[in-house]
């Protein structure tokens, strides 16, 4: 499909680009993207054929303040999407979300949508925001002169072709006369691929925990590589995330340092076992605080979907212990759980990879949303 004939999308809070990639797979063309994190922008550019001047590395409030400088990219845009952080969100918080100064980025997203007036907008956020949806919908209606039909749904990625138990709130609005609620209903009627964690990761090379501390440059067959030549087994999951493309390199499949105690815990725990399991009772370091740390360690189950991948993995992967190896999931394995293709390269430092992957919208979930929206444009 010619990029000029594809439907257009503008992306805010783009991160590494999971949401955008899913929409691209659904037939959209990203014409502009923005994120304040320069490392995420680098990853975004490495993986896309998009002009650098169409990726704004900066605060969305600055983008709004200089809207006229970028307006040429926003003409007749089909979709604006993004997931603005809402630091001031709380069920107990009585202050309106849009008036809370901590929710500066949420206000900026609403402002940007009202300036661009796309055919559709899509907002993603934590599921807890569902309790504030009456207020959120009214904020959008006020900004958009009540010209958009708006609906929301909490979607679990595991129901849309992603091997991961990940619930997120999605808001869809449109001004083309379509029922946004019907879009969510149509998504639920479709059948999607069904994969487990084992399907997603067990064909990748075995790794061991890195023994050398504070040396991120170490690479070998034991702890892995940033990049290496690799011949993939053409599993169903490989074909699912990569299509019919032949990929000859393995990226970001590298393990972190772990001390001997953690490695022993990783090896002793059975699949599904957590910090309270008797197999590690004599070496569990938080025994006197078990009520707090029962999920400090958790070994994933090979025949189930993975727990939600999060940016916390940059600190440790104790809650993401590999089901058959004494280590945490590698960034590449986490990326597979997020349904990124194998040739999607994450740049920056090792911890940055986890942050970018954990903050992303699962690619195949984004594709499922994009496939329903594009039918109405």
Is the separation of the CB atoms in 32 and 44 below 8 Å?
no
Q: Which residue has the tokens 């994120």?
A: 35
Residues 6+ apart with CB under 8 A from 36: 57, 58, 59, 60
Distance separating alpha carbons of residues 108 and 63, to the nearest angstrom? 9
Distance between terminal CA atoms of the chain?
Answer: 16
Q: What token pair was written down for 12?
A: 């805010």
Is the separation of the CB atoms in 127 and 76 below 8 Å?
no
Q: Which of these, 204, 194, 158, 193, lies nearest to 322 by C-alpha position?
A: 204
Residues 6+ apart with CB under 8 A from 257: 209, 210, 211, 212, 213, 214
Catalytic entry in 86, 223, 306, 317: 86
DSSP tally for the chain: helices H, then strands E: 14, 11
**Strands annotated E in 13-92:** 28-35, 55-57, 79-82
Distance separating alpha carbons of residues 371 and 331, to the nearest angstrom? 28
C-alpha distances out from residue 293 to 90, 118, 263, 279, Å: 24, 46, 18, 16
Distance separating alpha carbons of residues 271 and 307, to the nearest angstrom? 13
Quote the DSSP letter at residue 95.
S
Distance separating alpha carbons of residues 230 and 43, to the nearest angstrom? 21
Altogether, the residues listed in the chain come to a count of 377
Q: Which residue has the tokens 């084992």?
A: 198
223 is catalytic: no
Interhelix angle for 363-374 vs 18-25, to 10°?
Answer: 50
Enzyme catalytic residues = 86
């Amino acid at each position: 499909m010619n990029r000029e004939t594809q439907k257009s999308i503008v992306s805010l809070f783009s991160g590494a680009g999971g949401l955008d990639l899913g929409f691209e797979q659904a037939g959209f063309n990203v014409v502009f993207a923005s994120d304040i994190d320069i490392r995420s922008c680098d990853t975004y550019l490495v993986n896309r054929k998009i002009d650098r001047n169409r990726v704004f590395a900066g605060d969305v409030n600055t983008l709004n303040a200089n809207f006229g400088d970028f307006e040429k990219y926003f003409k007749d845009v089909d979709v604006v999407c993004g997931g603005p952080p809402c630091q001031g969100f709380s069920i107990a918080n009585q202050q309106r979300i849009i008036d809370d100064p901590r929710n500066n980025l949420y206000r900026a997203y609403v402002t940007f949508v009202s300036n661009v007036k796309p055919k559709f907008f899509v907002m993603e956020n934590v599921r807890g925001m569902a309790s504030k949806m009456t207020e959120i919908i009214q904020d959008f209606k006020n900004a958009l002169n009540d010209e958009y039909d708006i609906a929301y749904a909490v979607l679990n990625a595991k129901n849309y072709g992603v091997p991961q138990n990940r619930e997120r709130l999605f808001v869809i609005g449109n001004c083309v006369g379509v029922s946004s609620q019907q879009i969510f209903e149509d998504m639920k009627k479709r059948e999607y691929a069904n994969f487990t964690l084992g399907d997603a990761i067990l064909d990748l090379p075995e790794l061991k925990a890195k023994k050398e501390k504070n040396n991120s440059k170490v690479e070998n067959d034991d702890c892995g590589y940033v990049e290496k030549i690799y011949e993939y087994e053409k599993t169903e999951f490989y074909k699912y995330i990569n299509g019919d493309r032949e990929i000859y390199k393995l990226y970001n499949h590298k393990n972190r340092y772990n001390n001997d105690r953690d490695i022993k815990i990783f090896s002793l725990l059975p699949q599904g076992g957590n910090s309270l399991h008797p197999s590690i009772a004599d070496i569990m370091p938080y025994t006197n605080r078990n009520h707090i740390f029962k999920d400090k360690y958790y070994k994933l189950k090979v025949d189930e979907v993975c727990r939600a991948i999060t940016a916390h993995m940059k600190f440790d992967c104790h809650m993401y212990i590999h089901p058959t190896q004494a280590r945490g999931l590698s960034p590449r394995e986490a990326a597979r759980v997020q349904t990124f293709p194998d040739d999607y390269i994450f740049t920056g430092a090792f911890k940055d990879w986890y942050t970018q992957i954990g903050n992303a919208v699962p690619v195949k979930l984004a594709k499922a949303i994009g496939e329903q929206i594009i039918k109405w444009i």
